Every structure is written in C-alpha cells, then in structure tokens.
Amino acid sequence: MLAKTLGELKRTYPDAKLKRTVKEEIRANLIQRLKAGDPLFPGIHGYEDSVVPAIVNAVLAGHDFILLGTRGQAKSRLVRVMAELLDPLIPALPTPLRDNPLAPASPEGRRLLAEAGDDAPIVWIEREARLVEKLATPDTNVADLIGDLDPIKAARRGEGLSDLEALHYGLILRANRGIFAIHELPDLAPKVQVALFDVLQERLVQIRGFPVKLALDVWLVFTANPEDYTTRGRIITPLKDRIEAEIHTHDPKSLEVARAITAQEARWPGEVQLPEFLARAVERVAFLARTDPRVEPSSGVSQRLSIALLETVGANALRRSLIYGDPAVARPVDLYRALPAITGKLEPSFEGEQVGVARIAKDLIAKALLHEARERGSDLEAIKPFFAKGKDLELPEGPWSEVKERLGQVPGLVEAGRHLDPQHPWVGAEAVLEALVGEGFLVRESGRFKRP
C-alpha cells in the first residue's frame, strides 16, 4: 500500500530515497544498471562507443548537458530514454511544484507542512510525468519557462502582489524533481536565454523583480543543431558556458546500424516480402544523399528518410499486389513510387536547385541499386550488348507475368539478377537495369530503359 500521509510515508518509505535529489536518483539507478550489465538506453543503435559513454559520464558527474546534432539523430529519443532512469514512483506533496515531503521548495508546500504536519497528504508521481519537454520557439517568453505574477490569484488571496503564493509557475518550475528538456535551444530569444543563467548555475529564479528563492531540484537537458549553436548562430556565449557538457550525436556509421534503426521504427506490411538487397538499397539512398554535393550538408539527411522510404515501398508493393493479384514482393519500381518519401527530406544546395530534388532522388535510387549489383557480382557487361544494338525495353509496373516476359527478352539479364537475389531473380533482373542507369549506360524514362 502506498502511503497517503506524511506520517505513513516516514514509517514505510526509505529515508535515504526521500532525501536524494533527482540527479542522485538517476545516478544511483544508472550505477545499478552498469553493475548488472543491463541495457542503458534500449532502442538506441550506433551510439554504443560514442554518445552513450558521453551521456553516462555526464550523469555520473551530475552535469546538465546539451545534445548537438542534425535532424533525425535520435536527440529527443535519447532524452526520453534517459527519463527511464527515474524511479517508477516518487512521493510528493500535492503542490504545483510536486514538493519533496521533507524539504518543500514552494511557499505552498512549506505552509502545508506547517499546518498539517504528519497529516499532510501525499500523492505519488509516475515516472512519465517527471519529464517535461518544451520545443523552443521565437515567441517563447520568460513567463512560459519561469513564471509570472497572477493578479487574479493575488486578489483572491488578499495578500497583495508581493504574495509568493500568487505566482503562476512556469514549465521549468513545474518540472521540479524531474527532467526539463528544451529542444532547439538557440530558437529562444536572447532575453529568455539570459533568464536561464541563474537556473543553470544556482537553481534560483526571479519573477517580476521578486527574488523568489526556490531550491529547485531539476535536471536540465537541451538539444540543438550544431550550426545554430555557435557565437555566429543564435546562442549567447554565457549560456553556453553554463551548460556543463556538450555531446555530439551523429548519423549511423554503417548500413547494418541504419537497418536496425529502420527495422525498429518502420511499419512494414507483414504480407509483403522484402528482398535483402532492396532493404540495403533503401538505407544506401540516405547514405549517398549525405555525401551528394547537390544536397545541403548543414541540414543533414534524417534517418526518417529511410524509415518513410521503406514504409512507402511496402505500401506500393501491397497496392500492386491487390490490384493485379500478383505475389506481394517489393520491386525496384516501388522505390520510384516512393519518391514523395525522399523529396521532402532533402534540402538541395545551390547546385541541387539547378536540377531539382526529384532528379536527385531518382539518381540516388539508381546509384544505390548499382552499389548492390556490384557488391553481389552481377555481370552488368553481359547485358550491355542488347542495348548497344539500339534496342530498348519498357517495363510495366504490373502484372508480374508481363514484367517477366519483358525481362526475359534481354539475354543474361535474369542470370545477373540471380546474383542479387537467388530467391527472386526476376526482381534482381529489374534491379540490374536500374544499376545500368546508375552507371550512366542507360537512361530511364517512364519505365522505358534505353541508351542515352
């Protein structure tokens, strides 16, 4: 049974747990996981030797920190997974600041203890409620984060505007005894950034000229894009100085890590088969985009591109199967049908604007399939004589029987496709044609493959 009064709590709840801060609580739980060899951040892939050790060090040191990285690098997910290091339940007084029953920070909490003593009521706060997140926007003001005087509340209490219980608490104060995360920190106006100084350094706040000394117990975490987090960007230097740890996230460093992330996040229709080489090609599209000079590098290429691309490939394969009654197997043509999942996630550079983002996306698909064909030893040279004679080949999206008949017209094509996927050689054969497009030997115009 959970205690309902302070007296019951003192008799049944460990005194050491009541006295520790949120940083001590998270640190103790992290140490317990480290000793037991339990996963520290479930669902996070590719950061085992880079980001995770840096976060562990920040937690052990009790540092407020910022995660710097471009979009789609799991910054928000890291913050939310970190919140899983909090206790499942903690006791609190029923006040706006969820005060510690032994050491209330708010005037309301101190008054409640003075009036009720051991009969003061106790509420229990769940772990999920102890993470407060705020997306920074230019219109976010000091009152949103810190608080303001509430004249209506002051009038009702009849104590005047100097009454500390007439305050309206902001988000940071309401995150007391938990984690407060500000995403895209540089988007805060400079005067709001200044308001964070004392919170970071002394855990003190000032509202409308009143030196409201609240002993806040909160862990502050921030996220930002590295391009904005500079003196030339939109962050003020004194605020940077007060954030104790700067941790850089990064894109997946291997296709295997990227595939693990995509498989975890993507919604794939279970009735659709996905050839292995096609799954790799989906991930390779994002990898190639990150190094393509036509794509703006400072904006980054989010892992969400691979997730959305794979989901759309699966959806189109299912749609085609339902229309034509064919086996539900993903094909290279599904990648082109999934262009809307790519184009909205690429920000073209000046060079890219000249050709258009749709052209870039098609090139990336063809080059990704070229990589897969070369890695699996498909004989591309054996296919070229057919097209060198001036012939071309048009592939419909379906039905599958018609596609196979067209593919069979090219000598050696199906055999080359077998290297890509022994189980689906016809799908591999279609990919070989796309690989020749990626090589520049063929061009693809509305499903028709021909020499340039």
pLDDT of residue 36 exceeding 50: yes
pLDDT of residue 155 exceeding 70: no
Distance CA 24, CA 39 (A): 20
pLDDT of residue 115 exceeding 80: yes
pLDDT of residue 106 exceeding 50: yes
Question: What is the CB neighbour count within 10 angstroms for residue 259?
Answer: 20
Question: What is the CB neighbour count within 10 angstroms for residue 233?
Answer: 12
Helix (H, G, I), strand (E, B) or coil at 147: strand
pLDDT score, position 153: 67
CA-to-CA separations, 164 to 34, 96, 114, 323, 375, in angstroms, rounded: 43, 13, 16, 68, 69
pTM: 0.88
- Residues of 93-103 as b/e, b for ≥16 C-beta within 10 angstroms? bebbbbbbbee
Q: Using 50, 70 and 90 to split pLDDT, how confident is the model at 250?
A: very high
Residue 178: strand pairing partners: 218
pLDDT score, position 271: 93
Helix (H, G, I), strand (E, B) or coil at 449: strand
Mean pLDDT over the full length of the chain: 91
- Cβ burial, residue 303 (10 Å; 0-12/13-18/19+): buried
Q: What is the mean pLDDT of residues 137-156?
A: 78
pLDDT score, position 342: 96
Report domain extents, the chain: 6-248, 255-450
Rg, Å, the chain Cα set: 29
One DSSP character per residue, 292-360 reads: -TTB-TTT---THHHHHHHHHHHHHHHHHHHHH----B--HHHHHHTTHHHHTT--B-HHHHHH-HHHH
Q: Using 50, 70 and 90 to split pLDDT, how confident is the model at 161?
A: very low
pLDDT score, position 421: 92
Of 330, 346, 335, which is closest to residue 437 (Cα–Cα)?
A: 335
Most confident of 108-112, 146-150, 163-167: 108-112
Distance CA 315, CA 323 (A): 12
Of 382, 395, 371, which is closest to residue 445 (Cα–Cα)?
A: 395
pLDDT score, position 298: 83
pLDDT of residue 152 exceeding 50: yes
pLDDT of residue 202 exceeding 90: no
Q: Over the stretch 50-98, which tens digit does the pLDDT of each residue have?
A: 999 999 999 999 999 999 999 899 999 999 999 999 999 999 999 989 9
One DSSP character per residue, 149-177 reads: E-HHHHHHHTS-TT-GGGEEE-HHHHTTT
pLDDT score, position 159: 54
pLDDT of residue 187 exceeding 80: yes
pLDDT score, position 158: 54
Distance CA 60, CA 398 (A): 58
pLDDT score, position 107: 83
pLDDT of residue 48 exceeding 80: yes
Q: Using 50, 70 and 90 to split pLDDT, how confident is the model at 1?
A: confident
HSE (side-chain half, CA atoms, 13 Å) at 41: 24
Q: Using 50, 70 and 90 to split pLDDT, how confident is the model at 448?
A: very high
Q: Over the stretch 272-312, which tens digit does the pLDDT of each residue have?
A: 999 999 999 999 999 999 999 999 988 889 999 999 999 99
- Looking at per-residue pLDDT, the higher value among 235 and 215 belongs to 235
pLDDT of residue 437 exceeding 80: yes
Residue carrying the six token digits 């100085």: 241
pLDDT of residue 160 exceeding 80: no
Q: Over the stretch 341-386, which tens digit does the pLDDT of each residue have?
A: 999 999 999 999 999 999 999 999 999 999 999 999 989 999 999 9
Residue 450: strand pairing partners: 443
The share of the chain scoring above pLDDT 70, in percent, equals 94
Give the homologous superfamily in CATH for domain 6-248.
Answer: P-loop containing nucleotide triphosphate hydrolases (3.40.50.300)
pLDDT score, position 295: 95
